[in-house]
Amino acid sequence: MNAPITVAPYQGLKVLDLSQGVAGPYCAMLLLKSGAEVIKVEPPSGDWSRGLGYAPEGMSAPAISANLGKRSICIDAQNERGRELIRTLAAQADIVIESFRPRVMKRLGLTYADLSKDKPNLIYVSVTAFGSDGPYAERPGTDSAIQAMSGMMEVNRDRNGNPRKVGILVVDIAAGIYTAQAIGAALYRRATQGVGAYVEISLLEVAAAVQSGAIVDETIRDGRVVQPLSLPSGTFATRDGHLIVTALHDRMFADLCKTIKKEEWITDARFATVAARFESADEINTTLEKILREEPTSYWLEALGKSGVLCGKVSGYADFINDPQVKQQKLFQQVHHDGLGQVPVPRTPGSLDCVERPAPRKGEHGREILAELGLSAGKIQELVDAGVVLASVA
């Protein structure tokens, strides 16, 4: 048996996270979970994600979930002394991540061309909404705008045909994952060829990538009526809740028929194949709805599970966190945040087991980070007094 891995793969890597929102910060946090050290640079007003939703003292859910374990410093990049501090931090970093519109970094003198002059092996990452060129390059864009533009809201229509946004920041999170993967490839190239890289990821291309199957399906159908991949497949009410039930193939449909006491359907030619069942979808779904309402969710989970039929209870987050399988797999850690108490934080898939550290408050580690640059206490105070660094740093 191979010895367990005890050293995180990115241990020793330094990341300068200039990004705001969710996509870039989430990527930086993924690198941290694999051992990298991450310094988060925020403007004096803080990362704008700190103001989203319920946000006591700037500790919103997005700001917490995308910044766990980082150290934060607030620097005024509109001030030349502030920009010089950022350049100094970048010179010590292996990876720089930013998420601004193309003209912003150019105006600040913090582009890849600027920073790689003194550090050719730098990996510089730009996370944009629409890419670095084209008619929308300077247009602001967010997860919701990209969902609307990319067709995601169309495929998520409700029963009345109204387009719906997916209720989580799925494009942002996927962008963070894709970006972390691209950084891993850039790091391998640097290790084998000794060269840096400019990595660009747009929310627009991410939205296309995660919907590739649906986009291909619509193209090859060429206007034909949408046919579900399997039938029945949907959400049904039980006596005390809701259940998702899917008969993935003909054999599973037969197992479903046995479980709900509809064995006669097994030999009914109308239900012999998915295509045939599609023509009788209303009858199948209406009958299944009636039968499933007769028993509680727990009954059907056990009965359908034993039969090998795909099913799952529709749960809220509290039930999910307390599910016995979730607890057995130790998917969540309770991380203490001052003023908020214990916050459940999911484990990052594939990362080493580690004790989660809380997300930083705005500028929490400013003095500590500046001291590591070799600045004296007096010099640090001078920067604070001049407004170059946030005055409230700890």
Residue 394 in this model has a pLDDT that exceeds 50: no
Give the chain's mean pLDDT: 92
Do 116 and 183 reside in the same domain of the chain? yes
Give me the mean pLDDT over the 22-36 stretch. 97
CA 240 to chain CA centroid, Å, is 32
What range defines the domain where residue 109 resides? 14-212+360-385
Please tell me the distance from the alpha carbon of residue 64 to that of residue 356, in angstroms, as a whole number. 12
Residues 6+ apart with CB under 8 A from 314: 235, 241, 242, 243, 244
Q: Please provide the DSSP assignment of 194-207 as one string.
A: ---EEEEEEHHHHH
* Residue 41, number of CB atoms within 10 A of its CB: 26
Residue 152 in this model has a pLDDT that exceeds 80: yes
Do 117 and 259 reside in the same domain of the chain? no
* Residue 92, number of CB atoms within 10 A of its CB: 12
Backbone angles phi, psi at 39, to 5 degrees: -105, 125
What total of structural domains would you count in the chain? 2
Over pLDDT 90: what percentage of the chain? 83
Please tell me the distance from the alpha carbon of residue 220 to that of residue 125, in angstroms, as a whole number. 35
Residues 6+ apart with CB under 8 A from 285: 232, 234
Within-domain flag for 344: no
Residues 240-293 have pLDDT tens digits of 999 999 998 999 999 999 999 999 999 999 998 888 888 888 999 999 999 999
CA 71 to chain CA centroid, Å, is 20
Domain limit, last residue, from 321, 338, 369: 321
Do 65 and 189 reside in the same domain of the chain? yes
Q: Which H/E stretch holds residue 242?
A: strand 242-246
CATH assignment of the domain containing 285: 3.30.1540.10
Residue 2 in this model has a pLDDT that exceeds 60: no
Within-domain flag for 8: no
Please tell me the distance from the alpha carbon of residue 65 to that of residue 43, in angstroms, as a whole number. 19
Contact 203, 254 (CB under 8 A): no
Q: Residue 4: its pLDDT value, please?
A: 56
Within-domain flag for 89: yes
Domain limit, last residue, from 271, 296, 321: 321
Do 193 and 276 reside in the same domain of the chain? no
Q: Please provide the DSSP assignment of 92-143 as one string.
A: T-SEEEE-S-HHHHHHHT-SHHHHTSS-TT-EEEEEESS-SSSTTTTS---H
Do 105 and 146 reside in the same domain of the chain? yes
| Tokens, residue 98 | 């930013």
Do 70 and 25 reside in the same domain of the chain? yes
Please tell me the distance from the alpha carbon of residue 380 to that of residue 365, in angstroms, as a whole number. 12
Do 312 and 206 reside in the same domain of the chain? no
Residues 173-221 have pLDDT tens digits of 999 999 999 999 999 999 999 999 999 999 999 999 999 998 998 888 7
Give me the mean pLDDT over the 23-45 stretch. 97
- Higher pLDDT pick, 167 / 5: 167
